[in-house]
Structure formats: structure tokens, C-alpha cells
């Protein structure tokens, strides 16, 4: 995995229903075809939209999300849909 990812959240915690935005920049963006955000323990997966040299996702905290800290994995894929970069981060759901 040769592509470094920089993940930038507009917030690192939120309550159910709160909006949240994440932006991802990649070193060597031409090598990246798509970026996906995963919350493995909850089975959530979302593809980010590309805007120029970065990717972004605007969403909201699910209404049924239990309070706690969640591991979030951001993965970059090349044109052959092989993982070419990965970054782990956390998001906390408040009660």
C-alpha cells in the first residue's frame, strides 16, 4: 500500500442525527480510483465523492447508533479495485 491518506473530519464526535463531513486527500491522487469509508463493527460502508484532488462524504450519524467510540477505516483503491492506501481513525457517538 503505497498511497498515504490524510483524513480530515469537521467533527470527531456527534449525536444521532448530527451531520458530519469527512474529507480525504491522497498523496499521488492519480493512482487512486475510489475511496471508501468503513465502520467494520457496524457493517457500514460509504464511497466518497471526488472533488478535484480530494474526496468527501457528507452524512449524518445514524439515529440508531449506540453511544461509544467507533473505529473508522478509510481505504483507497486503484483502478483494478485493489487497496492502495489505508488510514484508521475514530469517531465517537455521544448519548
Alpha-carbon gap, residue 38 to 46, rounded angstroms: 7
Looking at residue 1, its pLDDT comes to 62
Provide the pairing of β-strand 83-93 with 68-77.
Answer: antiparallel
Alpha-carbon gap, residue 50 to 30, rounded angstroms: 12
pTM above 0.75, yes or no: yes
pLDDT of 6 strictly over 80: yes
CATH of residue 83's domain is: 2.60.40.1930
* Total of domains in the chain: 1
Alpha-carbon gap, residue 92 to 74, rounded angstroms: 16
**pLDDT tens digits, residue range 16-69?**
999 999 999 999 878 899 999 999 999 999 999 998 889 999 999 999 999 999
CA dihedral (20, 61, 69, 15) positive or negative:
positive
Looking at residue 4, its pLDDT comes to 94
Residue for cell digits 478509510?
Answer: 74
Where in the sequence is the domain holding 70, given as residue range(s)? Answer: 5-93
Amino acid at each position: 500500500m503505497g498511497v498515504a491518506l490524510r483524513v480530515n473530519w469537521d467533527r470527531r464526535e456527534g449525536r444521532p442525527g448530527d451531520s458530519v463531513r469527512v474529507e480525504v486527500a491522497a498523496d499521488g491522487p492519480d493512482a487512486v480510483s475510489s475511496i471508501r469509508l468503513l465502520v467494520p463493527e457496524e457493517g457500514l460502508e460509504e464511497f466518497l465523492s471526488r472533488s478535484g484532488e480530494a474526496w468527501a462524504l457528507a452524512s449524518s450519524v445514524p439515529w440508531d447508533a449506540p453511544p461509544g467510540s467507533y473505529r473508522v477505516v478509510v481505504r483507497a483503491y486503484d483502478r483494478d479495485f485493489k487497496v492502495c492506501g489505508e488510514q484508521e481513525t475514530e469517531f465517537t457517538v455521544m448519548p
